[in-house]
Amino acid sequence: MSRIPLIAGNWKMHKTLSATRTLLGELQTAVADVDSVEVAVAPPFTALAAAVETLRGGSIRTGAQNMNEAEEGAFTGEISPVMLTDVGVNFVILGHSERRALYGEDDELVGRKVNTALAHDLVPYLCCGETQGEREAGTTEAVVSRQLLAGLAGVQADQAASLVVAYEPVWAIGTGLTATPEQAQQVHASIRALLAERFGESVAQSIRIQYGGSVKPGNAAELMAQPDIDGALVGGASLDAASFAGIVRATAAAGS
Ligand code: PEP
């Protein structure tokens, strides 16, 4: 089955309003002629409305980097799914390793957020990935499957086809280290097998599994050429239009 590759930029805590408009304007121009790759950006909360407005009428999607699992309430500093749909975003990154490591998000909380996102028609980009120590201990696939089974608890097969899984080895995020295409493919294949067990083969074949971890224009093509790698979640290289567009173009070339 052919899945349309999805390249998404996770801007993290970067970009003011004016920088958001500038970057998105440049990005729209840079990828205007690429139609075989889906492109998405996740600016910080403060820039979401400006991003939605700037991208209106085009094909680049806008998403958030996190979300609370409740619809409203006394949760100082939090943002709800209702607020995200109200502002016009289409997806939400959940369970990013920085949220897990720095803000104590555990597998069960991530699972509740995934269910809430689906209930609000937000596409969850469910992140998973092992630390360096877990890889060295030979537990990569056990860690990833634990994160995914908890993250997908309660999700029905008919909801699952729309979701996105992002495999991001923690040791490769922001470090300049990248999994080799073979290392990444091995984990992606195991993720697809788990999705098939959980939701059936045909749903598993339609779910996009992104790779994330120091993806750059120079290493994107060989990663994207792997059969179970369906795009990338990009941090640092998404902050510059030329480098992000370079990844989108490399992905388009890998699939053609
Ligand atoms: C990320 O944080 O999701 C990520 C993949 O970051 P980077 O591309 O900078 O490694």
Domains along the sequence of the chain with CATH: 6-255 (3.20.20.70)
pLDDT of residue 210: 98
- Going from the Cα of 73 to the center of ligand 1, the distance in angstroms, rounded, reads 31
Q: Are 251 and 7 spatial neighbours (Cβ–Cβ below 8 Å)?
A: yes
Is the shortest distance between the CB of 190 and ligand 1 below 6 Å? no
Residues 6+ apart with CB under 8 A from 67: 79, 80, 81, 84, 92, 94, 113, 116, 117, 122
Give nearest CA residue, ligand 1 atom 1: 235
- Cβ of residue 10 lying under 6 Å from some atom of ligand 1: yes
Q: What is the pLDDT of residue 14?
A: 98
pLDDT single digits (tens) 82-135: 999 999 999 999 999 999 999 999 999 999 999 999 999 999 999 999 999 999
Q: 1: pLDDT confidence band, cut at 50, 70 and 90? A: low
**pLDDT digits 0-9 by tens, 133-174:** 999 999 999 999 999 999 999 999 999 999 999 999 999 998
Instruction: Please check the confidence at residue 256 and state whether its pLDDT lies above 80.
Output: no
pLDDT reading at 195 higher than 70: yes
Average pLDDT, the chain: 97
How much is the pLDDT for 2? 82
- For the cut 60, the answer to whether the pLDDT of residue 46 exceeds it is yes
Residue nearest to atom 2 of ligand 1 (CA): 235
Residue 138: its pLDDT value, please?
Answer: 96
Contact 42, 8 (CB under 8 A): yes
Residue nearest to atom 6 of ligand 1 (CA): 235
Q: Which of 35-39, 171-175, 190-194 has the lowest mean pLDDT?
A: 171-175
Cα distances (Å, whole numbers) of residue 112 to 18, 119, 139, 153, 170: 34, 11, 25, 8, 22
On the CB side of 255, CA atoms within 13 Å amount to 21
Query: Could you give the CA distance from residue 72 to residue 81 in angstroms, rounded to a whole number?
Result: 9
Please give the pLDDT value at position 29: 97
128's tokens: 């998973």
Question: What is the rounded distance in angstroms from the CA atom of residue 11 to the CA atom of residue 80?
Answer: 19
Amino acid identity for residue 126 in this structure? L
- 217-224 and 181-199 helices cross at what angle (nearest 10)? 50
Pocket of ligand 1 contains residue 5 by CB under 6 Å: no
Instruction: Encode pLDDT of 221-255 as tens digits.
Output: 999 999 999 999 999 999 999 999 999 999 999 98
Residue located nearest, by CA, to atom 4 of ligand 1: 235
Tell me what percent of the residues of the chain surpass a pLDDT of 90: 96
Ligand 1 atom with least separation from CA of 166: 3
With a 6 A CB cut-off, is 173 part of the ligand 1 pocket?
A: yes
178 lines ligand 1 (CB under 6 A): no
**β partners of residue 18:** none
Active-site amino acid positions: 96, 168
d(CA 235, CA 229) in angstroms, rounded, equals 17
